[in-house]
Amino acid sequence: MYQESNTSNSGKKADILLFIGLVVMLLIARIALNIIQALGLGALQLVVFIALVAVCFIVFKKRFCTYRYTLFSKEPEEGELDEYGNQQKLAMPLGTFIIEQLSGSRGGIVANIGPGDMLQLIPPSAGAIGIIGSGNDSSLKKPPLYGNAKNGKRENAHILLYRADGKTKALAFCPSKELEGMLSEIIAAVNA
């Protein structure tokens, strides 16, 4: 089993700027709420509050989410024992790829792709959006991004095409070179 985490690429300077930006946004929102209250437009206060909560939620999702990629790439060796002294076994079939989204202590599986369902791994340099843009499914034209791409741009992410529920689907993610190589080998072996 191979695992790696994909965390945010921002550093201390970006975190400080983010904090300052959020404080300034809160001050501006407070001033706006005071003006709205003085004008007697109570319903508009609710709209401003909902917008403020939405912005905070988006910032949280972008900044504080981590993605963990797990690939069941090889069987445990003979003699590797679990905590009960039994021969260790894989929890999923060999070649299964799982993407988990982790936020603090909570997490959930966002993709569980079997080896036979993987169709193609498209690197960012291949102009992936143009290659997969021929389908009618909108998820193929702009797949969801599960990971923190370089410079925050989707164009810097890999695209994995796979089959699920009888449809071809796509997802964008940011693997290391090692994981990219292992996924390419699995796809080549299954499609051979």
Whether the Cβ atoms of residue 84 and residue 17 lie closer than 8 Å to each other: no
Q: Dihedral (C-alpha) 132, 117, 65, 24: value to the nearest 10 degrees?
A: 20
Phi then psi for residue 108, to 5 deg, are -160, 155
Q: What percent of the chain has pLDDT over 90?
A: 2
Does pTM top 0.75 for this prediction? no
Q: What pLDDT is attached to residue 154?
A: 66
Burial tier of 143 (Cβ tally within 10 Å: 0-12, 13-18, 19+): buried
Whether the Cβ atoms of residue 113 and residue 96 lie closer than 8 Å to each other: yes
* Tokens matching residue 137: 């499914």
Q: What pLDDT is attached to residue 151?
A: 44
Nearest CA-CA partner of 120 in 163, 88, 57: 163
Q: Which residues of the chain have pLDDT under 70?
A: 7-11, 61-62, 104, 126-154
Distance of alpha carbon 143 from alpha carbon 161, whole angstroms: 10
Q: What pLDDT is attached to residue 29?
A: 82
